[in-house]
């Protein structure tokens, strides 16, 4: 997020992408089945666009918004929808420096 908020350089993001791709290739990292994003209406700025744009566009039904009300997460976990899996990170992480998170889905 630092890159998109002008707090890190392109080189830093490229290094982080390279390290992540190496970790995925070595089996040291995996994409989780789901990301449950609690109280998404309270998330400000770039983070909201990250979860529901830049990341979520690769498996929209795998990023699930959820209120953090008592019992809500437990109920959600019992009924998560079946959905196609994630696009392999090697297919989209290299292009991350060229993604504008709040513009995902609006390309012409």
Does 28 map to a domain? yes
CA distance 5 to 22: 25
Report the half-sphere exposure of 2 (CA within 13 A, side-chain side).
9
Count of domains forming the chain: 1
Task: Identify whether 59 is part of a domain.
Answer: yes
Residue 60 lies in a domain: yes
* Per-block mean pLDDT, blocks of 10 residues, the chain (108 long): 64 88 94 92 84 86 91 92 88 85 57
> Which one, of 60, 51, 52, lies nearest residue 87 by Cα?
60
Task: Identify the domain containing residue 66 by its residue range.
Answer: 10-102
Specify if 2 maps to a domain.
Answer: no
Q: Rounded to an integer, what distance in angstroms lies between the CA atom of residue 41 and that of residue 64?
A: 13
**pLDDT per residue over 13-35, tens digit each?**
888 899 999 999 999 999 999 99
Compute the Cα dihedral for 65, 68, 73, 75 and give only its sign.
negative
CB contact at 8 A, 59 and 35: no
Residue 108 falls inside a structural domain: no
Q: For residue 98, tell me if it sits in a domain.
A: yes
């Amino acid at each position: 997020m630092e890159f998109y908020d002008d707090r890190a350089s392109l080189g830093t993001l490229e290094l982080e992408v390279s390290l992540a791709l190496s970790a995925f290739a070595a089996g040291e990292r995996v994409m989780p089945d789901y990301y449950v994003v609690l109280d998404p209406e309270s998330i400000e700025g770039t983070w909201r666009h990250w979860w529901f744009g830049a990341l979520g566009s690769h498996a929209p039904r795998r990023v699930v918004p959820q209120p953090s009300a008592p019992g809500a997460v437990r109920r959600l976990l019992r009924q998560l929808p079946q959905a196609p899996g994630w696009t392999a990170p090697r297919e989209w992480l290299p292009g991350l420096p060229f993604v504008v998170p709040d513009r995902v889905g609006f390309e012409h």
